[in-house]
Amino acid sequence: MKFNCCFLKKRFLLLLIALGIGSALYANDELKLLTDSLRRVIDEKHVFVKEKEDRINRIKCMLKSPGLTLEGEYRINLRLYNEYKKFHIDSAIHYVDRNIEISRQLNRPYFTNQSFLNLGLLYSMCGRFREAEIILKSIKTSELPRDLLINYYQTYSSFWGHYSISVANNLYGKQQAAYQDSLFALIDHTSWDYRMSQASYYIWRDTLKSKEIFKELLEIEEVGTPNYAMITHSYSRLCHHQKKYDEEKKYLMLSAIADTRNATRENASLQSLALIAYDEQNLADAFKFTQSAIDDVISSGIHFRAIEIYKFNSIINTAYQAEQARSRSHLTTFLISTSIILFLLVLLVLFIYIQMKKILKIKQALAQSNEELLRLNNKLNSMNSQLNDTNNQLCEINSIKEYYIAEFFDVCFSYIHKMEKYQNMLYKIAINKYYDELIKKLKSSALIDEELSALYTRFDKVFLGLYPTFVSDFNALLKDEEKIILKPDALLNRELRIYALLRLGITDSGKIANFLRCSTSTVYNYRTKMRNKAAVDRDEFENEIMKISSTQDT
């Protein structure tokens, strides 16, 4: 019992190890595929930027619509703000400024407050924190409706988040948390924003609950959307907290791919991946990801992460350049070594060439000898083949002769016995002076016909004993509609007997006619008729008949 328990424990342990190895291999393959995909997406980033610009231009064309009202222009500008917000800050600010003018012309406090909130968010994103704070403090929360109040707390929370990242000081996280608490009190608890904020809130407090919410969000969100990029980025923070670093990389890559494809230039995931690649001494990817992130910062004007990424870029760039220098040094050493080896190889090739020329002459002489031997060998093989064919034919002929000689003696003895019986019968009739009956017997051909029929039947049996497939092989040489169908009790018919005699080597039509008790012209007509029915060349028909195998061939 103790032995069985130990054995089961060992098997269970081996199973766990196997599953662990399998999972690790699968995870490595998945990460490699995602890394390749991210590199490819970064290389094609200009394509996605062009698609984004085309979409923005289509929206801009709506501003030229005839009869466009100020309110209609406001809503189009709001769409352009949302498109430019994480793509090109200055353009987004331009359309928000225009909306502030429109809201004042329309005297719509709702539009005015909404536009100032948007402007405050943009200022915090581009690093103009003092101006952003002045705008946010100037807004009276008591005058805001519920949806703008929610927007207000979201904007203030983002402001402190951007500021803490910009100055690299987590102390400002408390102010951000305070506005998030106010936001939670107002926001719809079934909304995406609430569920997302709740999942992020529980990362440091209840990892199981946080993971559960993230999984639910990933199930309902379409892959590749901007929201999907935000979910996967936040989920990667949970994986990091749980020390599941492969999963962290996986979700950071999914987020970075989605952001790049959507031309979202606030690509925090790409910066995180650059740090991870640097820690793993993967300087090529670290440099590529950092350069892409810096390009996004420069193109978009989103500067709250700029100080961090620029500082990190100098470290990566220095390490990358050092690595490139080492690579060039190694390459130079490799080229010198390769050149020396190549020179030695050239000398070796020359030596081999000289030796090969000598060997070639020997080979040519041997080749001539081999050709002569091969020619003689082929000639001997041909002669052997002919001898084998002749021997086979002789064996077959000897077998047929032996078989037919035995049959001939048997037929002769049988015929003598029958003649003796027939003579005795005629003798008795003559002794008894039954002359009329005697004359009748002598005039009758019944006995001859009976003996001929018996002879043909015996011939058919003997021949088919030697050539059992003769009928089917014969029919195979005829057209489908001309195949011979024998009567149920017949072995051969007259046409088949003619060709059976031919197969036995009796080619004289006169001898065949005598055997079959018919005229020579009849035999000739039968042979001509069958050649015309042949499925093969009529001139080769009888040659093909002679190739039909006997039992001795097997």
- What's the rounded Cα separation, in Å, for the pair 477 and 431? 58
Which residues are 34's β-sheet partners?
none
420-434 residue pLDDT tens: 676 677 767 778 877
Provide the sign of the torsion angle of the four alpha carbons 264, 266, 269, 270, taken in this order: positive
Contact 153, 186 (CB under 8 A): yes
**Average confidence score pLDDT of the chain:** 81
- What's the rounded Cα separation, in Å, for the pair 533 and 525? 13
23-82 residue pLDDT tens: 555 567 889 999 999 999 999 999 999 999 999 999 999 999 999 999 999 999 999 999
- What is residue 14's predicted lDDT score, i.e. its pLDDT? 43
| 3-class state of residue 239 by DSSP | helix
- What's the rounded Cα separation, in Å, for the pair 421 and 443? 18
Please state, as a whole number, how many other Cβ atoms lie within 10 Å of the Cβ of residue 382.
Answer: 10
438-494 residue pLDDT tens: 777 677 667 777 878 888 888 888 888 888 888 888 888 888 888 888 888 888 888
What the block records as the tokens of 320 is: 């990358």
Contact 226, 255 (CB under 8 A): no
Helix axes 146-167, 173-186, angle to 10 degrees: 160
494-542 residue pLDDT tens: 888 898 888 888 888 888 888 888 889 998 888 888 888 888 888 888 8
- What's the rounded Cα separation, in Å, for the pair 254 and 272? 12
- What is residue 334's predicted lDDT score, i.e. its pLDDT? 67
Is pLDDT at 312 greater than 80 in this prediction? no
- What is residue 328's predicted lDDT score, i.e. its pLDDT? 64
Q: Which 8-state DSSP code applies to residue 270?
A: H
Please, what's the b/e burial string for 113-132 (b: 16 or more CB within 10 A of its CB; e: otherwise)?
bbbbbbbbbbbbbbbbbeeb
| 3-class state of residue 552 by DSSP | helix
- What's the rounded Cα separation, in Å, for the pair 545 and 526? 15
pLDDT (mean) for 339-362: 82
Model's pTM, two decimal places? 0.54
- What's the rounded Cα separation, in Å, for the pair 77 and 157? 24
Secondary structure element (H or E) that encloses residue 382, with its range: helix 306-431
User: How many percent of the chain have pLDDT more than 70?
Assistant: 80
What the block records as the tokens of 495 is: 């046409």
* Residue of 502 and 166 predicted with greater confidence: 502
Q: Please state the φ and ψ torsions of residue 478, each to the nearest 5 degrees.
A: -105, 160
- What's the rounded Cα separation, in Å, for the pair 197 and 176? 12
pLDDT band at 161, cuts 50/70/90? confident
pLDDT band at 13, cuts 50/70/90? very low
What the block records as the tokens of 125 is: 């994103």
- What is residue 412's predicted lDDT score, i.e. its pLDDT? 62
